[in-house]
Amino acid sequence: MTHLPKFSAHLRVSSRIFRGLQLVSGIFAVLVIGWLFLQYRGASDRARSQTVLLEENRQTLADLDAQLASASATIEQLMLEDQRVRNDQLEATISAIQKTYKDSVGAYEQLLDLRGDTADTQKIEESLASAIAQLSEQNYGSASATLKTVVSEIKSLQQKLAAAAVAPTPKATVSNDAPSNGYSRQQVQTDIGGFVVSLIAGDLGSTKVIVDTASAGDCGNDCPVLSLSDYVSRNGGYAGVNGSYFCPASYPSCAGKTNTFDLLLMNKDKTYFNSDNNVYSNNPAVIFGGGYIRFVGAASEWGRDTGIDSMLSNYPLLVSGNQVRFNGDGDPKKGSKGNRSFVANKGNTVYIGVVHGATVAESAHALQALGMDNALNLDSGGSTALWSG
C-alpha cells in the first residue's frame, strides 16, 4: 500500500520483527524478535510458511499492465506535440486523459492489494479492463464513468473482507489482554467496534529487535529482495513482520523505482538508508537498543546515532502514552479497510502484529484497547506479512 499521489513514486519499506536468542532486520526492512527482527524486502518474494504468514503472493495482471503502459505512452505523445500543448481545448483534453489515467492506475493498484488479501477480483478486473480499453480509444467520459463503478465495487469488496475478518472464530478469542510472550490471535473490543488482532510479544530483557535489509546500502531501482522467512532464518530469529512502506514492482506508478523505499532506516549493520532526503523528516520513528524501545514523533529528533541496534521510520504514529494519536487524515488509502501491521510496546514488552479488516485509525483504537503505551503503523494491504516460527 502506498500513500503518495499517483504519477509520483510510491516508496515504501517492508520490515519484519523476530525474536529468539537474537534479533535481526532488513533493504527491504524487517523487524526480528528474540531475535525480534525488522527487515525490508519486496512484496513479490514474501514467503508463506507453516507459521503465520498473512500475505498471499500477488499475481501480476499482465494484460491490464500492458494496456496501462500503452495509455501512458499516448499521454506522453500528446504532450510532446507543441501544437496540441498550445491549444487550450487540447490542453483540457490532455488534462482529462491524465486524470482518467491516474484514476485507472489507482484502481489497478487497489486491485493488487485486494488480490494480496486473497479476494476474488475477477469481476472487478473485467470492469477495469473495459475502462482501460475505453481510455485507449480516447472515450474519456465512458472510461471515467466505468472507473467510478470499479472504485465502488472495490470499496464494497473491501467492506466484505473487513466484515469477515471481524467475525469471531475459534482462533480469535475475545480478549483485550495483550499476551506477555509468544503468539496470540484475539478479538479486541473497542469504543468503535471489535477487531481481530494477530500479535507476537517479546520481553526486551531477553529479546533483541533489529532491522535487516536485503541491500547493503541505498538503492534507487530494482533493489534486491528476500522472503520474510529468509530474513528470520538468516538472523536466527523466531518472528518477523514487514516494515515501512515500499514501492512494489507490480505497481505501474513504481516504474523506475521498484522495490525501493524513501523513509529513514538504520539496519543491524549500523548503515543508515535515505539519510540525505530525511534530514528534516517529520515522520515518526521507532528506535531499538539494548533492552529498550523508544518512539519519537519525528525522525529528525533522533539524528544519526549508531549506538543503537536499529531504527525505522514510518507513519503514522498510532498510539503515544496510551492515547490514540491518529484518527484519520482524509487519505482514502488510510481510510479503507485492510490488514494493518504495527510495532508497539507495553512497558518493557515489544509487540509486532496485524490488525485485520481495519482502517489505520481503527487499528490505533484496537492497540489502545490492548493497553499499548506506544504504537507505530507499518506496511499494510497486500504486502502485509507476519511470521512466527
- Region 2-13: mean pLDDT is 32
Higher-confidence residue of 92 and 302: namely: 302
- Over residues 122-142, the mean pLDDT reads 78
pLDDT of residue 315: 96
Whether 14 and 243 have beta carbons less than 8 Å apart is answered as yes
Indicate left, alpha or beta for 46 from its phi (over 0: left) and psi (-120 to 50: alpha). beta
* pLDDT score of 51: 34
**Residue 17 pLDDT greater than 80, yes or no:** no
As a whole number of angstroms, the distance between CA 241 and CA 40 comes to: 9
With beta carbons less than 8 A apart as the criterion, state whether 245 and 1 touch. yes
The residue that leads in pLDDT, 329 or 74, is 329
Average pLDDT value for residue range 269-275: 94
Residue 65: pLDDT band with limits 50, 70, 90:
low
**pLDDT for position 279:** 78
pLDDT class of 80 with cuts at 50, 70, 90:
low
pLDDT at 201: 97
Confidence grade of residue 75 (pLDDT, cut at 50, 70, 90): low
Dihedral angle, C-alpha 269, 270, 275, 280, nearest 10 °: 140
pLDDT(71) > 60? yes
In terms of DSSP H, where are the helices of the chain? 62-80, 82-86, 88-116, 122-136, 140-166, 228-234, 332-335, 360-369
Higher-scoring residue by pLDDT: 152, 252: 152
C-alpha cell at 190: 473497542
Mean pLDDT of the chain: 78
Q: What is the mean pLDDT of residues 229-234?
A: 92
pLDDT of residue 255: 81
- The pTM of this model reads 0.69
